[in-house]
Amino acid sequence: YQQGLDGDIQGTRVGVLTELLNDEQVEPEVREAVVNATAVLKKLGARVEEVSVPLTQHANVISAVLLAVEPAQNHRDWVRTRLQDYGHDNRIGLLTGSLIPAQAYLKAQKLRSLLRQQILEALKTVDVLISPTSGRSGVAIQDDPVITSKETTSRLPFMRTNTFNLASSPAISVPCGFSSQGLPIGLQIGGAPGGEEAVLKLAYAYEQSTSWHTMRPPAL
């Protein structure tokens, strides 16, 4: 892919995922940083437009069901005999997954297929899709190196990376600014399955035209 990293994105079609950008859980500073990033891409010659993929707003719920049920199934024998050997977070997750009914899992799989179809349809009209990486800026981890369940859970509803995971599509996150608290904000760029070159090309061009990736977050 290195040969394609020339900074030239003239004519590249970029779709902004409207549901992920305008979601009420997206902080205004994050939305502003992503909008500013689109302005940079336009100056570089990219053709930026809004793209609607309705099921992206449910990606976190779909992913949560799948990521709870499948590990619970894979670990079911050890959960019965060695539950005490798992860490607290994993115990909660595995037990929760074992209680989710089969109907919910099957529905999540169907919704995953529909979401993937919607993403692939959108990528017939644009080369790459962009969104916030997370609905909020980075969260500073306290001095205690152990991340508690509460801290972990507080991040999950804001993440926007599940969309491309569910679609089996390549994606990358690049820095696109800092919050007023001095914490980093990410721009997510995703493409079609096998479309890593287009994703990396846009990410490289953006980074060559900005300095966010060279700066240390002021709060850290």
Cα(26)–Cα(22) distance, rounded to whole angstroms?
A: 7
Architecture of the CATH domain 2-55+118-214: Alpha-Beta Complex (3.90)
Residue 153 — very low, low, confident or very high, per pLDDT cuts 50/70/90?
very low
The closest of 10, 4, 104, 5 to 63, measured between CA atoms, is 104
Using an 8 Å Cβ cutoff, are 206 and 34 in contact?
no
pLDDT, the chain, mean: 91
Q: Residue 57 gets which letter from DSSP?
A: G
pLDDT at 143: 43
Q: Is the pLDDT of residue 220 over 60?
A: yes
The domain locations on the chain are 2-55+118-214
Q: What is the percentage of the chain residues whose pLDDT exceeds 70?
A: 91
Residue 142 — very low, low, confident or very high, per pLDDT cuts 50/70/90?
low
Query: pLDDT digits over 96-133, tens only?
Result: 999 999 999 999 999 999 999 999 999 999 999 999 99
Query: pLDDT digits over 61-75, tens only?
Result: 999 999 999 999 999
The mean per-residue pLDDT over the stretch 77-106 comes to 92
pLDDT at 216: 87
Residue that has been written with the tokens 């995971």 in this structure: 165
Its pTM stands at 0.87
Q: What is the percentage of the chain residues whose pLDDT exceeds 90?
A: 78
Query: pLDDT digits over 33-57, tens only?
Result: 999 999 999 999 999 999 999 999 9
pLDDT at 7: 84
Cα(101)–Cα(104) distance, rounded to whole angstroms?
A: 6
Query: pLDDT digits over 158-171, tens only?
Result: 678 999 999 999 99
Q: Are strands 184-190 and 128-132 parallel, antiparallel or unpaired?
A: antiparallel
Quote the Cα angle for 196-44-57, to 5°.
Answer: 55
H/E stretch holding 15: strand 13-17
Q: Is the pLDDT of residue 157 over 70?
A: no
